[in-house]
Amino acid sequence: MSYDLKQVMNKPERLAAGHRMCAGCGATIAIRGVLRALHEGDRAVIGNATGCLEVSTFMYPYTAWEDSYIHNAFENAGATLSGVETAYRALKKRGRLPEDENFKFITFGGDGGTYDIGFQSLSGAMERGHDMVYVCYDNGAYMNTGIQRSSATPMYADTTTTPVGTQSNGKMQGRKDLAAIIAEHNVPYVAQTTLTQNFKDLYVKSEKAIYTEGAAFLNIMAPCPRGWRYETADIMKICKLGVETCYWPLFEVDHGKWILNYEPRTKLPIEDFLREQGRFKHLFKKGNEHLIEQFQAEVDRRWENLKYRCER
Ligand SMILES: Cc1ncc(C[n+]2csc(CCOP(=O)(O)OP(=O)(O)O)c2C)c(N)n1
Ligand code: SF4
Ligand SMILES: [Mg+2]
């Protein structure tokens, strides 16, 4: 599949300018990237769980979405779009929709709405095999309501519900491996990606997810400068460090086959990723070296596990 950055970037925007997401928000960049993978002429029905993305792009009577858009509750983004997709198939079968129109069904949810609160409806939609894509923009916390921890929040992150202090080093648990859990649903396509280099990985995986028949899931690390506490302009550096430290590996599971898309020539130490973010500042205090060691050991364990799956 050829990838031409200039051509891709010149495609018409489907998430228009003028929304109210923060400057440099990773979620907005990720979502625009996914939508660029839609082929010209194809139309989309977008579902969106409550979260920063929904709150800031769709304030009745204004919308930044160029495609049909449904805001549903936190819990049911998967169920909403699976219902729409079923209705579409039924109407098409009865000849009640134009033959020459092609619709795609894409749902967006934050990590809170996906890993936690909407997990049951996501799992149901995947298991039933609807021809749709569920995209999680994972910024690792409930950002819209003030940075509360979710099951996607990394270990030791400082959030408002896991505040760092004399009695606490931040979140005590590691993050849930949602991409692996969805892969175990035996859906045709699952991938994990983020904003790297010239966005090729994001584009190629989005196109595959949208145009593979059946249910697909994309997990996109989408940094939040506010919650992660880094300089807005550093987003690409943060994403690169996530990948180069193997904190956020790039992989896909295509019809059951696990594929590692990128292996760093030299795996960087996890502290390179942590040091850039204010939410991990406490880890660099004297006496907390063992916490970074524990974090590293967990990254290593998960990385080896992923490589094992991909080598089989
Ligand atoms: C059932 C329900 N519980 C709580 C809320 C309040 N709420 C709105 S947005 C939000 C945070 C969403 O977090 P996430 O899904 O990670 O998206 P983000 O804000 O990080 O983009 C919460 C808790 C709600 N709208 N509905
Ligand atoms: S709070 Fe974070 S996730 Fe929400 S719009 Fe701002 S940068 Fe994006
Ligand atoms: Mg979130």
- For the entire predicted model, the pTM comes to 0.98
The verdict on the CB of residue 30 being under 6 Å from ligand 2 is no
Cβ neighbours for 207, distance < 8 A, ≥ 6 positions apart: 1, 37
| Average pLDDT estimate for 25-40 | 97
Instruction: Quick: pLDDT tens for 34-53.
Output: 999 999 999 999 999 999 99
Atom of ligand 1 nearest to the CA of 49: 15
Centroid of chain to Cα 233: 20
Shortest-distance ligand to the CA of residue 26:
2
The verdict on the CB of residue 162 being under 6 Å from ligand 2 is no
Beta-carbon count within 10 A of 174 CB: 17
Instruction: Quick: pLDDT tens for 59-82.
Output: 989 999 999 999 999 999 999 999
Mean pLDDT of the chain: 97
| Average pLDDT estimate for 267-278 | 98
User: Sorting pLDDT into bands at 50, 70 and 90, what band is 6?
Assistant: very high
| Ligand 1 site, CB within 6 A | 27, 50-53, 74, 110-113, 139, 142-145, 150
**pLDDT (0 to 100) of residue 169:** 98
| Average pLDDT estimate for 10-23 | 95
CA of 284 to the centre of ligand 3 (A): 25
Q: Is the pLDDT of residue 54 over 90?
A: yes
Atom of ligand 2 nearest to the CA of 53: 5
Angle, alpha carbons 225-230-233 (nearest 5°): 75
**pLDDT (0 to 100) of residue 2:** 80
Shortest-distance ligand to the CA of residue 229:
2
Beta bridge partner(s), residue 46: 69, 106
Domains in the chain, number? 1
CA of 14 to the centre of ligand 3 (A): 22
Nearest CA-CA partner of 220 in 33, 16, 74: 33
Q: Is the pLDDT of residue 1 over 70?
A: no
Q: Is the pLDDT of residue 32 over 70?
A: yes
Range of the domain at 230: 5-311
Which residue type sits at 211?
Answer: Y
The verdict on the CB of residue 143 being under 6 Å from ligand 2 is yes
Atom of ligand 2 nearest to the CA of 20: 5
Atom of ligand 2 nearest to the CA of 52: 4
CA of 224 to the centre of ligand 2 (A): 5
Q: Is the pLDDT of residue 144 over 80?
A: yes
Contacts made by residues 205-211, CB under 8 angstroms, sequence distance 24+ = 205/252, 206/33, 206/34, 206/36, 206/37, 206/133, 206/135, 207/1, 207/37, 208/252, 208/254, 209/37, 209/133, 209/135, 210/34, 210/37, 210/38, 210/104, 210/106, 210/133, 211/39
Question: What's the per-residue H, E or C state across the chain?
Answer: CCCCHHHHHCCCCCECCCCCCCCCCHHHHHHHHHHHCCCCCCEEEEEECCCHHHHHHCCCCCCCECCEEEECCCCCHHHHHHHHHHHHHHHHHCCCCCCCCCEEEEEEEEHHHHHHCCHHHHHHHHHHCCCCEEEEEECCCECCCCCECCCCCCCCCCECCECCECCECCCCCCCCCHHHHHHCCCCCEEEEEECCCCCHHHHHHHHHHHHCCCCEEEEEECCCHHHHCCCHHHHHHHHHHHHHCCCCCCEEEECCEEEECCCCCCCCCHHHHHCCCHHHHHHHCCCCHHHHHHHHHHHHHHHHHHHHHHHC
**Residue 110 · residue 64 · CB < 8 Å:** no
Atom of ligand 1 nearest to the CA of 144: 19
CA of 171 to the centre of ligand 2 (A): 20
Whichever domain contains 204, its CATH number is 3.40.50.970
| Average pLDDT estimate for 94-120 | 96
**pLDDT (0 to 100) of residue 112:** 98
Alpha carbon nearest to ligand 2 atom 3, residue: 224
CA of 58 to the centre of ligand 1 (A): 15
Instruction: Quick: pLDDT tens for 207-244.
Output: 999 999 999 999 999 999 999 999 999 999 999 999 99
Shortest-distance ligand to the CA of residue 24:
2
Going by DSSP bridges, is the β-strand pair 251-254/189-194 parallel, antiparallel, or unpaired? antiparallel
